[in-house]
A and B are shown apart, each in its own frame.
Chain A
């Protein structure tokens, strides 16, 4: 499988003084179950897209959480919305809805 060269998280440091978390807060309003994520990696381990690309859904949603939106919408195109991650998540995060909402929010201009 060719590597299309997308790589998320381009910043060298996370500057939590500068980032805007507006989109992230909106995401939590839309998908409240995401608040419960405890970074276990079940979603990324089981992910169908992960088997064929370097897509990592946990890193994508964690980048979003940190206000790092760079290239995320390209990255999210790799997800096939198969829903395996949602089935396994031990904290009951609605990942499919999370992914749809991330895609949508990334289309909107940053406030």
Chain B
């Protein structure tokens, strides 16, 4: 019986496991945390349709209920080695597993905003990340540092993306639409709040994104300012003073907000970095590199070693899940040749 091991139980790992299991293939699904889907559970509502993240997580978790799938939680895979005919996987506790195929689905982590010192994250309490805002929305507790309903919130795009100083030249793809999504959700909860989104380019690439942007302007009165915030500082009353240029007006801009939300980018997770480098398939910025993005995007060039989802590049759930299905089919084709 041929065996497939999948590293990472996010949307990519789960969807690939589910497709393979439906085709009668046994899958071991390793997850370093105690439960799967952590990068979904920490969100409230998802773009593009404001569907609850819980609903998506439940649907995906349901796909694991197949006796061909063995979920192995609390198990971090730290090394993967080709042994001539099959792969050997090593976990952090020293246990090993043998498998014909390995699918890397180790995903992403968000950029550590402390690395952008000038924005004051970790120093001023009023400066928060998009993930922290997501939590505030989820628990309906959008409060400023003093515990009051905020009067003004500013968003800053491209934190840790498109940035020479943090070494990430790429665009993280999901944060433009996430800022607009969060701004709308906040407005629904606190209609009186004034929201400004500081952007350099608004990348509304997906179906429904541009319409969401229109809605944000037309129905929710959200302001869009073209300029990157250069610095943030705290005021005596624990608000945040920020500096930017309004590049469309060509004048410097100052603003005091209760909260400054940093739209942190997507970086390869520690697991992605580690496995990519150990298997010598490290691409740009530590993401996994495939043979070609067009026609061989599941294949790594090593026999029986495949990759799916955001371990390769930033992406949304829809594209991640479709990509995982492609990987499952590529794996089945490979198994047929053995």
Partners in one complex: yes
Give chain A's interface residues, CB within 8 Å of chain B.
36, 38-42, 44-46, 50, 56, 58-59, 88-92
Interface size on B, residues (CB 8 A): 23
Complex interface: chain B residues within 8 A of A90 (CB): 158, 162-165, 228
Complexed CA–CA distance, A81 and B159 (Å): 27
B200 touches A46 (CB 8 A): no
CB closest residue in chain A, given B226: A41
- The one of B201, B226, B230, B250 in contact with A42, judged by C-beta atoms closer than 8 angstroms, is B230
A89 touches B247 (CB 8 A): no
Closest approach, in angstroms, between the C-beta of B164 and any C-beta of chain A?
3
Complex interface: chain A residues within 8 A of B158 (CB): 90
Complexed CA–CA distance, A59 and B245 (Å): 11
Give chain B's interface residues, CB within 8 Å of chain A.
118, 158, 162-165, 200-201, 226-231, 243-247, 250-253
Complex interface: chain B residues within 8 A of A58 (CB): 245, 247, 250
Sample of 24 A–B contacts (CB below 8 Å): A38-B162, A38-B200, A39-B247, A41-B228, A41-B245, A42-B228, A42-B230, A42-B245, A45-B227, A45-B230, A45-B231, A45-B243, A45-B244, A56-B245, A56-B252, A58-B245, A58-B250, A88-B118, A89-B164, A90-B158, A90-B162, A90-B165, A90-B228, A91-B164
Complexed CA–CA distance, A106 and B246 (Å): 27
CB closest residue in chain A, given B254: A45
Task: Contacts A40-B200, A45-B243 given; indicate if A56 touches B250 (C-beta within 8 A).
Answer: yes
Greatest chain B CB density within 10 A among A36, A44, A58, A90 is at A90
CB closest residue in chain A, given B242: A45
3 A-B pairs with the lowest CB-CB distances in the bound complex, closest first? A41-B245, A92-B164, A40-B228
Complexed CA–CA distance, A90 and B156 (Å): 14
B230 touches A46 (CB 8 A): yes
Closest approach, in angstroms, between the C-beta of A65 and any C-beta of chain B?
14
Complex interface: chain B residues within 8 A of A36 (CB): 164
Complex interface: chain A residues within 8 A of B118 (CB): 88
A40 touches B165 (CB 8 A): no
Complex interface: chain A residues within 8 A of B201 (CB): 38
Complexed CA–CA distance, A58 and B230 (Å): 13
Closest approach, in angstroms, between the C-beta of A92 and any C-beta of chain B?
3
CB closest residue in chain A, given B250: A59
A44 touches B245 (CB 8 A): yes
Closest approach, in angstroms, between the C-beta of A97 and any C-beta of chain B?
15
CB closest residue in chain A, given B201: A38
Closest approach, in angstroms, between the C-beta of B168 and any C-beta of chain A?
10
Complexed CA–CA distance, A26 and B5 (Å): 57
A42-B245, A44-B245, A88-B230 known; 10 other A-B pairs, CB under 8 Å? Answer: A38-B200, A41-B227, A42-B228, A45-B253, A46-B230, A50-B252, A58-B245, A89-B164, A90-B158, A90-B164
Complex interface: chain B residues within 8 A of A88 (CB): 118, 165, 230-231
A41 touches B162 (CB 8 A): no
CB closest residue in chain B, given A42: B230
Closest approach, in angstroms, between the C-beta of A95 and any C-beta of chain B?
12
Complexed CA–CA distance, A91 and B246 (Å): 18
CB closest residue in chain A, given B164: A92
